Structure 1
Amino acid sequence: MRTLTYVVGVTLDGYVCAEDGSIDFFPEGDTDFHLREIPEIVPTHIRAQFGLDVPNGRFDTMLQGRGSYELALREGITRPFAHMREYVFSRTLSADVEPTLTVVADDPLGAVRALKAESGPLGICLVGGPSIAGVLLPEIDEILLKRYPVIAGSGKSLFEGADFAPAVFARTNRHDIDGGGDYSLWRRVDRRTPARESTSASSPDDQRTGAQAE
């Protein structure tokens, strides 16, 4: 069974973006940490400038919502993570927007469970946004949380729209950032509480949410 890891930045009060999906209020992250620990989330078109012409070592599949994907699409980039298999969850995005990209319009949980059931040594990465993360929460095994020393007051939460279904995660690693923030890896350790799936089998668009990747 492959692992699904949610990589996301968050404020001290639990918001990943403003209501309009903007993330420009976040300070810069730790680029060195990204390049060392999660180089796969560096978009393909800028990987060369960081010397990332290397095989994937942690993830080989990228998941994102419509809003996150839209950020690249506005720049004319149809495959922002072309170094991985790439899936976008959306009911409104055309299925033929890019021949080598898979658009998932229905049953996002079913699609993710099929991906996790595949054999292989590398995992699956989810980079955004909070609405699709809320839908996929029952299948998220790890959360790489970038916590910033910022209070937003309001916005979109870490798992926007998720049902109440408590689950226990344990922190397995932490890296402090200059300025007071940190990166922490949290791993699910308790599946005793059944997670109620969304009442809709359709895939929600993720409301113009940033991918939270540097």
Structure 2
Amino acid sequence: MALAEGIGRPYAHLREYVATRSHKDAPEGVTFTADALETVRELKQEQGKDIYLCGGGDLAGVLLPEIDRLILKRNPVVLGDGIRLFGHADATTATFALERCRSFGSGVIVEEYRRSDH
């Protein structure tokens, strides 16, 4: 979506990886991958900071086996059916424990969870 809007590097301060099967030429500083799960597994073997996933439910569902922490931001807005949080992944494949919950005057709630089934 960012490329369609003319945004080549929305997270230029980070190492950027984009899961795609349709694009061939990545902007400078961006790595395209057709196998997001394998890419995340390789990145987790490296020294460094956390991996930040920004994407839809289908991508989150593919990566669910490797997700260690969730930060969910809930807004008090109903938008209709929407996209499932983890696409079509089996909902019983991961368990997370609540670590922190913050609420704001706007009604927004931010919940932080750590994986508890590893």
- The answer for the alignment partner of 1:47 in structure 2 is none
CA distance in 2, matches of 1:164, 1:170: 15
Q: Which runs of 5+ in 1 are unaligned?
A: 1-69, 192-214
**More RCO (CA 8 Å, sep 6+):** 1
Structure 1 residue 168 corresponds to structure 2 residue 98: no
- The answer for the alignment partner of 2:73 in structure 1 is 146
**Residues 64, 94 of structure 2: 8 Å contact kept:** no
State the aligned residue count. Answer: 118
CA distance in 1, matches of 2:15, 2:50: 11
Offset from partner CA, 1:16-47 (integer Å, 9 cap, x none):
xxxxxxxxxxxxxxxxxxxxxxxxxxxxxxxx
Structure 1 residue 179 corresponds to structure 2 residue 109: no
Within a 5 Å distance, the mapping from 1:129-144 to structure 2 comes to 129-144=56-71
Normalising to structure 2: TM-score of the pair? Answer: 0.90
Normalising to structure 1: TM-score of the pair? Answer: 0.52
**What SS is found at the alignment partner of 1:144?**
strand
CA distance in 2, matches of 1:100, 1:87: 9
Root mean square deviation of aligned Cα: 1.5
Q: Which runs of 5+ in 2 are unaligned?
A: none
Structure 1 residue 128 corresponds to structure 2 residue 55: yes
**What SS is found at the alignment partner of 1:175?**
strand
CA distance in 2, matches of 1:190, 1:116: 18
Offset from partner CA, 1:139-191 (integer Å, 9 cap, x none):
00111100112333412110012134332211111211213221011110113
CA distance in 1, matches of 2:18, 2:102: 29
Pairing partner for 2:117 from 190, 194, 199: 190
Structure 1 residue 104 corresponds to structure 2 residue 33: yes
Q: Percent identity?
A: 47
CA distance in 2, matches of 1:133, 1:168: 15
